[in-house]
Each structure stands twice: as C-alpha cells, then as structure tokens.
Structure 1
C-alpha cells in the first residue's frame, strides 16, 4: 500500500551568514497492535523540495541577486502593535516580499526551471519498517530526507498505535479480559483466546483451582516481542471478571431442567 504525503517547506534564511540545518518534517504514522506484534513494512509516497539543478539554487539565470528593499537584506521585518496606554508589542516575522531570504530577483533574470524559487518539487517513496516490539510514540527517522538545504533536515515518523478491541499493552506485557460464570470460577474453566498472530491459545484452570473475581492469570512468553530481541517476549495476563448474577441466571435458565426446592441457587461441579 502506498500512501501519499506532502512535505511543506517551512522556509528560513538562506543568506549564507550562518549555515543551519533544515527543518525536520514530522508525520504521525497509524499502526495496529498487530503491526507492532508481527512487524510490518509500509511504503509511503512523499513530495519534498530539492535544490534546483539548473541554477544550483541561486534562483536566477545569472546567479546574481539583489538585496531585498523591503527588509534591507535581513530577511525579517518588525511590526509594532499598540496594546494600551504606554504599552506596545514588538513582533518579528519573515519578510513577505522575499519570504525571509533577504534577496530579490528581477523577473527577467528568474531561472526558467524553478521560477526564482531556488527549489523544485521531487517525488520519493520511502519504505518504513515497523519492527517487532516497537512502542507507541516511538520514532522512525530518515536522515537527510526532508526539504533540501545546505544541511538537509530529517523525515521523522512517530508511531501512533490504534486502540485494540480486546488486547491492552503495557510495556512488553499484554492484558486481556475474560468473564467467568460462578460455576467456572468454582469448578474450573477451559476456553480459547485468539492471539494477535492468529494462533489459538488454550487457557484452562488447574485441578481444584478456585478463581476469585478481579484476579489475574499470567501466561509466560505470550506477551509482546521485545524490541530488537524478538525471540524474547513479555507475559500475557488474563484478567478474570465475574459474570453478573442476573446475566448468569439468565444464561443458566436455558440449561436447567430441574429447580432446586425453595429457589436456592445450585452450583454443582462435575467429577474430575
């Protein structure tokens, strides 16, 4: 799957007095818990600005430029705002005439390829590898892939995990809820959980085990893979919740043919 992204140029001074790294471009990347469990590769199509090859980033045919008359070559303008009696606010912002470059190019001398912009758009496809065990908000960085500058910035993808309908993650551990009836809690249980990779896990109680409400059962090595240690895994915790008495009574009413004298509740464990 190829998604389309647009990297917008943030802009900045290109006056040459002080060279600085271009702006990093940060994008959120939605992933599922299955993606983080199994690992996944995604191809993302993006557009970025690269230095014009025809004018070598000068913006003009002759390679010359003039000092912007609007900002006197500083690339910045200062505006003053009256806030109240004796109170003023001074704000500095990029010059709107030269867009912060401090230079102006005559229309006749503009580069025919970049139209004086000094950069041209370029399409590129990046393959983002989501490794097993990565965390929510973890960053995947592509150095030097942002808008081209003297020192080109990075493209950074920040993982954003979608909420899973059943599993919850805490570090390298997974949590899942399961509701038990009173009979199952007292007499034993056996059920299947479909894991994130599609495997069927058989979960059953030990002989004679009584499960209390709001208790947990840990299954070793069935949690999340550890980042860059995919053969090591955390634990899977099963959180047992007790079925409401009203709900349990409704469910058991279909299975009971005989009634206990006086309407007493009947819990009978099968012989093991």
Structure 2
C-alpha cells in the first residue's frame, strides 16, 4: 500500500496550495535532520517522506495524477515516457490518446533548499550553511521561530509569511421581526478564485446567513476566507454586520421592547385596556388598573426580545403612555372634577 501524502502533511484532500505550503514549512523545520542530532535516523525518514509528499502535492500535475491513480501511478511511469501497467497511459491526451508523464523525484535537501533558500536551519562552526545567498544571517543557534531571523533581512533571500487580506465588511439590514423570531438570509456573492493550475476564474456562491433570535445591532457574522484569492495572499474574511431597521410601533432598549400608547385623561384616571399585536403575531390584551401619570410605565414581564444566550427567556415589554388632555372644560365640568377630586 502506497504512502498517503495528505496524511503525511496533515492536510485534507481539499487543501489549497497555501495550506500545503504551510504544512510543509512547519513539518520540514520540525524534522530536518540537522535539528534532530539525537534522533537522526527517524528524522531523516520523516524528512524524506515530508519532502516527497510536498514534491507531489505542491505540483498541480503530479497532484492530479496522484489523486486519480495513487502513488503507484507516479512510480509506474518509466523515464522517457510509456504508460501504466497493461498499456494504459495518463488519460487526457489530445485526439483521445494518452499523455505520458515523467516523474523524477527530487532529493529532500534540494526541495528544502529551493523552498527556504538555505540548506540547513542550523549554523555550522559559526559560519552556517545558508547556501551563500544574500540577506541571510550566518551562524547562531537554531531558534524555534526561524522566521524571526529574517524579518529585518534585505535582499533576495528574505522570507515573507503570506499576509491575510483585510476583512471585507458588509451591512446586513434586518427587521425587528427578523431579530425577534430569527431567520436565515441568503446572500449571493461573486469572487475570484484560482484553479489547480493557478489560473484565475470568477465563481458565484450562495451564503446562508443564520440570524438567531435576540441578536443585536452590531453583531458580526464571519465567513472565513471568502474574499478574492490572490497569489501570496490569504483570502480575506467576509464579515456581515447586523443593522436594525426602524419599526413602526416598537423600539428596542437592550432586551426590552418599548411601545407608546395614547389614552384619554379619563382612561388614565379610571383604567383601561391596551390591545396590541406582538412581533410574532399574537394578540395581547393588557389591563391597566393603576392610575396613569405622565411618567408611568406598565411593565409586562417576558414579552420583550429573546435573550441571545438564553433564547427561552425574554426581556420585558414596557408600555409608555401619551395622555390626551381635554382642550376645553366648561365651568360645570371644572366644578364637577374639582368636587370629585377633593371629596374625602
């Protein structure tokens, strides 16, 4: 049974080119024989397997052949052409024929040197072996953070970690009903990607954005690395930021809902009932038995917004009152009101 190159590099079969490079960078540094003098035999074995895996998976043509036919397909193609055992060639040739593919494995040292620009991560005798390339310091002990040595280095040998694009932020407008009940919004995006051979193309994708009950304005939903793909750059994250549309009746105050209700002076003094429809369509009748002053609020517990961390619980509904006073009173009405309000 052949080697599983994906397992060796600890990446999945859908790994992108950048993921494969990162995996090789980390594992090659860890298992380089010069860094493992007390365990050199095992280190050499691992180092060679890691290099072989990168040599295949880091090349689109070799990777395609390996994915379809496995390691044996690479080893079974004789130098100078030919095909697979039994007379078959590499499918995909012109005119319905087969395309021969010559796989010449490179040495682990050559791959490491080509990738990093030096042959060994460890200095020897105070001079080091950095391949004689400018921009690399010579000598000194090996550091776990090998790239720290080169951050301020100049010249062609400088090593640069791939940078990540700045987050792409978009506003997502939601109604108060959406934030009360929760919903799923679908967003169509278009972005540039690179195929296996590195050629750019534009793809369209539908993102399902789950809005959970009780989420507030400013909540961020992140889709990692959904920005455009560019060589040497990790795609940016796509971030949706919730904004709350104004509602015709309710206002939100944290986890509470606030509504203003008009009543007459008589209702304020003698009591009334408030009827309203909730954000999820229920009809409520709320009796007001207390005397209503201009600053009075009726609090209905558990009829506010859902609490995000505890969706089964809700804030309160607070009813504020706009008391309509009569514009004119007759002398008889004034006397009657005065008599009623001053009687024992």
Q: Which TM bucket (shorter chain)?
A: 0.5 to 0.7
Alignment equivalent of 1:198, drawn from 258, 266, 281: 281
Q: Does the Cα contact within 8 Å between 1:132 and 1:228 map onto a contact in 2?
A: no
Alpha-carbon distance in 1 for matches of 2:176, 2:210: 15
Pick closer, same or farther for the CA change 1:265–1:237 going to 2, 3 Å: farther
Unaligned runs of 5+ in 2: 1-157
TM-score (norm 1): 0.61
Per the TM alignment, residue 237 of structure 1 is displaced from its structure 2 partner at its CA by: 0.4
Alignment equivalent of 2:305, drawn from 224, 229, 251: 224
Equivalent in the alignment of 1:156: 239
Higher Cα radius of gyration: 2
Equivalent in the alignment of 1:188: 271
Matched, 1:239 2:320: yes
Equivalent in the alignment of 2:183: 40
Q: Does the Cα contact within 8 Å between 1:22 and 1:148 map onto a contact in 2?
A: no
Alpha-carbon distance in 2 for matches of 1:242, 1:261: 22
Q: Does the Cα contact within 8 Å between 2:274 and 2:288 map onto a contact in 1?
A: no
Per the TM alignment, residue 239 of structure 1 is displaced from its structure 2 partner at its CA by: 0.7
Alpha-carbon distance in 2 for matches of 1:148, 1:228: 35
Per the TM alignment, residue 261 of structure 1 is displaced from its structure 2 partner at its CA by: 6.4
Alpha-carbon distance in 2 for matches of 1:190, 1:226: 28
Residue pairs, 1:95-110, within 5 angstroms: none
SS at structure 1 position matched to 2:180: helix
Equivalent in the alignment of 1:126: 207
State the number of aligned residues: 179
Q: Which moved more, 1:237-246 or 1:191-200?
A: 237-246
Q: Does the Cα contact within 8 Å between 1:142 and 1:155 map onto a contact in 2?
A: yes
Per the TM alignment, residue 210 of structure 1 is displaced from its structure 2 partner at its CA by: 1.1
SS at structure 2 position matched to 1:17: coil
Alpha-carbon distance in 1 for matches of 2:211, 2:309: 11
Equivalent in the alignment of 2:35: none
Pick closer, same or farther for the CA change 1:266–1:230 going to 2, 3 Å: farther
Greater length-normalized contact order (CA 8 Å, ≥ 6 residues apart): 1
Per the TM alignment, residue 264 of structure 1 is displaced from its structure 2 partner at its CA by: 3.5
Q: Does the Cα contact within 8 Å between 2:192 and 2:229 map onto a contact in 1?
A: yes
Per the TM alignment, residue 167 of structure 1 is displaced from its structure 2 partner at its CA by: 0.6
Tell me the alpha carbon deviations over residues 44-70 of structure 1, each in whole angstroms, 9 at most, x when there is no partner.
Answer: 11101112433x25xxxxxxxxxxxxx
Alignment equivalent of 2:253, drawn from 133, 150, 170: 170
Unaligned runs of 5+ in 1: 1-14, 58-118, 250-258
Matched, 1:17 2:98: no
Tell me the alpha carbon deviations over residues 120-169 of structure 1, each in whole angstroms, 9 at most, x when there is no partner.
Answer: 21100000111100001111111122222442221100011111111111
Q: Which runs of 4+ in 1 moved over 3 A?
A: 15-18, 259-268
Q: Does the Cα contact within 8 Å between 1:173 and 1:234 map onto a contact in 2?
A: yes
Per the TM alignment, residue 265 of structure 1 is displaced from its structure 2 partner at its CA by: 7.3
**Structure with greater strand share of residues:** 1
Alpha-carbon distance in 1 for matches of 2:267, 2:170: 48
Alpha-carbon distance in 1 for matches of 2:333, 2:299: 38
TM-score (norm 2): 0.48
SS at structure 2 position matched to 1:35: helix
Q: Does the Cα contact within 8 Å between 2:265 and 2:325 map onto a contact in 1?
A: no
Per the TM alignment, residue 18 of structure 1 is displaced from its structure 2 partner at its CA by: 3.4
Alignment equivalent of 2:227, drawn from 136, 139, 146: 146
